Structure 1
């Protein structure tokens, strides 16, 4: 686990080593154990290392035998030993025992198609001296980050947005399109960022830069192909594949542990790990009825782990907000990100690597919203013309019990679901300072349409899973996972997000995944006898942060003061924000998620836009980019 940076200049001027040093210094937290540099005329790389495998060797940047290829990689390749044996059989010679060198030899053998052979989490950058080509790639699910800035003068790539801002030598502004998306999604959907001109490489994509032209193309997509199978056969496939993935993810030359919540996902990982060895587990919770530590503590006792927990107090939570926003690069208004920051802090005091349960919900159907098609099935069976008339009639009625149910039931999935968070939607015009802005930019439902178009033939549950895999998972879940763990020099591994595990999950019939009464139905059945009974069918909580209560009274007033003093009124209607606060303070309407989104955004603005002297509100322009047939993502 590391931090990577590269700077490719399109002029004849040699790279200044100070640039790479600044980028490297800006992310010491991603790799405090070592650093490395490589420069040749107009191309340079820098690397921060968190030593996990082959801790004494495997320094980066790493070159092949004849020094025609140089590369840096952030992540872990879990099948590197198998690949190494295959490559040695083909005549390749290795000089380290690390996993990164495997990619170089795969590139020598297969070129840019080397990515098809990798099983793991990664973002890497490779320079081919023979063809003067920069080749980069990001893993299948987007576990590891990959930011880049491309213009007429240069291509800068990095694990962190702030490192690009540090050396871009230009003014950066807030991207208005990304602001609109953030206000609805609570994060900026990739490939955009909140900063104009800086983008993310999408999951399952590769980047090729040659002759000052940049091409980005997809090499993998999470395709669902359900097929009829015997239930017992599917259960066996799930268990054996997950056990294999966990074992591969436990490869390490340093101490490892596991996050442990009250839910089935992290518990399953910990239970499978415990079959191999005894290790450390880590939990956080909040005082009150939904304190997850009560359940995780019982689980740890049953599994017999070295358990550590932290009951987070309100003051501790808010003291960690600034560091959380700074670490995340882009604003992510998920309240659990701060809790994950503190959980990572706790874990880093004992181990260097942790395994966690992210991805199970998206693969196996774990979110309760996936049960909605069962609840609205009777209305959905009505003729379209009847549903349309009912919808248009009911929406003009005064509020009554069941109105929202009928509205949702008569609304197509593409117009009601964009993922697990939907903050500002109908009130977008009111919240924006420029009322015309909502109509000048693509809204969240239009953005999601491109993903719906790729799964038209599937049922609504599968469509929702695909939307979450494409948007929510990389934009929220994995973004906060990587940034909060790496802020404490902690490697986070996610065994559910393995392409072999997905292959099994993608073939499961929809009715096995979710029914009216259970989410992750067949996964739960497969883990019977592995996961303790008190967790097996426990409903999903996430991190139940008590924001609703905290943002009432004095704490809420403090957050409002921060929003007002941040200069956010350049983009946001502060009078409307003030009204939201007053309504929330009465206790009649819960606006905590909206308030938190604006509070996070205000903190981000001060730390990033103001810090880098960004004040121009302009639209992004991309040049010389060929984007594999869907350039609308950049339009």
Structure 2
């Protein structure tokens, strides 16, 4: 787990600029740094040593003749298998780090290398012979990858520089980078709580999507991006429910075994839910880590402590106060690179900080809900089940088409959901502002981006034949998971130099999960049925069956306390906030919530986190 930066093109003081870019991400790799400069490219690397702690595993790493160099962030869990195959083909290895299989793997297989990898990764290969770069991001988007093409502005000519790296903030140190807010990003963000467009909040900076790779021709500047992997939710009805449970338990245990490999100490995050509990029970670490809120009924760490005691491992806990929560927001938004208003980012910040005091690697349960159908949004309510039982699907489809043209009134969403066409109503796990509400609060200059349905449409278009449940899971795997869940997991942990591994998000686990029949994923007994029964093999009933709660945060109560009302008010009434928002509308939301007239905490927080991010990068920077 590390971080890399790089750029093409000629600028003055290239080494100095590269060093400054590396310093911006030193938190990703405090153990050592390295660089490699040629006339064509500058590569920089910060290392958090996990495998082969010696300098032999340092990056950038090259082959024997220097024609191929790699910078790589992540872990390749099948690197020993690939190494054995490459050694049989005649390649020589000089260290025990997984990075070297990327070097020789590219020599042997070229771009087909990505088809062989099992792991979490973002990497760039510099191919000196062909004067090009080749890079890729893992199939789930566990590791981040950003790029920027300097086109010139403010009267300066286009330089042709191509910048890339693990975090956007490193680009700030490059002289060709022009820092500006992307006007298209704020509107979809208000709806979905995370940066949902391919272009980031920094104008001209793009994310390489998950399961995509690219080639960049250094001589011509031609950039070609392609998808190299796709999931396939197609039911396999050849097995019984119990057979699926048996296989699930086997593949999860095997994945945890692969994810435990490290030359440093490994621990586990642990909440009260089934996902992290299952991982902890498979791993059996020396220590588990949990956080809760020091407020009334918002502390669930007792579940983690109780399970840890049953497993015979130590549970280390921390309680978070309201002051802790608000004091951390500027640092959190800085490390996120882009505004993100998932409330769980704050407890995750403190959880990572706590764990990093004891271990270098942690395992966690992210991804189980998307792969095995664990979200409540995937299930029908009791009223929906009754309606579907008595009203034929063709009639429900007609009612759904009528509802599409109705205003946002009571009953509209019910009819849309019962029509079994998620394309018309489901935009993922987070929906904050409706499009009309976002339009009302934004200034015209920033009321320009696509709405949530426009962003979701091309994702749905790739899977027209999927069933309703599989469409929802597919959407979340391609938007919510990489854009929110995995982004905050990576950024919050790497801010504290902690490697996070997610065994559910493994290629072999995915190959199993995508063929579990929908009726075994969700049925009358609840959601995530195959996984829950598999987890029950090593967890007590209470943990295997407990409903998902996420990280409950008492924000709605804090925003009715004068101290925290004043904190938000200072941002909402700042002169620079008027560039983006109708600040009277913001204050109306805040005042109504403070007075108990409305529950606006999510809208308030989503607006606030954008302003905190903007202040940190464009006013304080």
**TM-score scaled to structure 2, two decimals?**
0.93
1:629 matched residue in structure 2: none
C-alpha distance 462-501 of structure 1, shift in aligned 2 (>3 A): same
Alpha-carbon distance in structure 1 between the residues aligned to 2:131 and 2:35: 19
Q: Please say if 1:519 is aligned against 2:530.
A: no
C-alpha distance 549-87 of structure 1, shift in aligned 2 (>3 A): same
C-alpha distance 380-69 of structure 1, shift in aligned 2 (>3 A): farther
Alpha-carbon distance in structure 1 between the residues aligned to 2:413 and 2:427: 17
C-alpha distance 365-46 of structure 1, shift in aligned 2 (>3 A): same
**5+ long unaligned stretches in structure 2:** 152-159
Greater displacement, 285-294 / 42-51: 285-294
Q: State the 4+ residue runs in structure 1 displaced beyond 4 angstroms.
A: 392-397
1:70-102 Cα offsets, whole Å, 9 max, x none, are: 111001111111111111111110011100000
1:458 matched residue in structure 2: 466
Alignment of 1:479-518 (within 5 A): 479-518=487-526
2:537 matched residue in structure 1: 529
Secondary structure, counterpart of 1:83 in structure 2 = helix
Secondary structure, counterpart of 1:338 in structure 2 = helix
Give, in angstroms, the shift of residue 560 of structure 1. Answer: 2.0
Alpha-carbon distance in structure 2 between the residues aligned to 1:403 and 1:17: 59
Give, in angstroms, the shift of residue 414 of structure 1. Answer: 1.1
Q: Please say if 1:179 is aligned against 2:186.
A: yes
C-alpha distance 535-433 of structure 1, shift in aligned 2 (>3 A): same
Alignment of 1:458-607 (within 5 A): 458-554=466-562, 555-565=564-574, 567-607=576-616
Alignment of 1:236-315 (within 5 A): 236-274=246-284, 278-286=285-293, 287-315=295-323
C-alpha distance 396-524 of structure 1, shift in aligned 2 (>3 A): closer
C-alpha distance 16-541 of structure 1, shift in aligned 2 (>3 A): same
1:14-51 Cα offsets, whole Å, 9 max, x none, are: 77101110010111110000000110113111100000
2:150 matched residue in structure 1: 151
Alignment of 1:417-436 (within 5 A): 417-425=426-434, 426-434=436-444
1:631 matched residue in structure 2: none
Alpha-carbon distance in structure 1 between the residues aligned to 2:416 and 2:243: 40
Q: Please say if 1:340 is aligned against 2:348.
A: yes
Q: Please say if 1:377 is aligned against 2:388.
A: yes
Greater displacement, 501-510 / 290-299: 290-299
C-alpha distance 533-162 of structure 1, shift in aligned 2 (>3 A): same
Q: 1:387 aligns with which of 396, 399, 404?
A: 399
1:40 matched residue in structure 2: 38
Q: Is the 8 A contact 1:185 1:421 kept in 2?
A: yes
Greater displacement, 160-169 / 353-362: 160-169
2:423 matched residue in structure 1: 414
Secondary structure, counterpart of 2:57 in structure 1 = coil
**TM-score scaled to structure 1, two decimals?**
0.91
Alignment of 1:31-110 (within 5 A): 31-56=29-54, 57-110=56-109
Q: Is the 8 A contact 1:371 1:514 kept in 2?
A: yes
C-alpha distance 582-409 of structure 1, shift in aligned 2 (>3 A): farther
Greater displacement, 189-198 / 48-57: 189-198
Give, in angstroms, the shift of residue 608 of structure 1. Answer: 1.6
Q: Is the 8 A contact 1:566 1:605 kept in 2?
A: no
Secondary structure, counterpart of 2:607 in structure 1 = helix
Give, in angstroms, the shift of residue 54 of structure 1. Answer: 0.3
- Paired residue total: 602
Alpha-carbon distance in structure 2 between the residues aligned to 1:79 and 1:392: 48
Alignment of 1:357-372 (within 5 A): 357-372=365-380
Alpha-carbon distance in structure 2 between the residues aligned to 1:316 and 1:414: 39
Alpha-carbon distance in structure 1 between the residues aligned to 2:594 and 2:470: 39
Q: Is the 8 A contact 2:403 2:412 kept in 1?
A: no
Give, in angstroms, the shift of residue 529 of structure 1. Answer: 2.4
Q: Is the 8 A contact 2:572 2:587 kept in 1?
A: no
Give, in angstroms, the shift of residue 411 of structure 1. Answer: 8.3
Q: Is the 8 A contact 1:141 1:497 kept in 2?
A: yes
* Structural RMSD (CA): 2.0
Give, in angstroms, the shift of residue 428 of structure 1. Answer: 1.8
2:27 matched residue in structure 1: 29
Alpha-carbon distance in structure 2 between the residues aligned to 1:258 and 1:493: 9
**5+ long unaligned stretches in structure 1:** 613-635
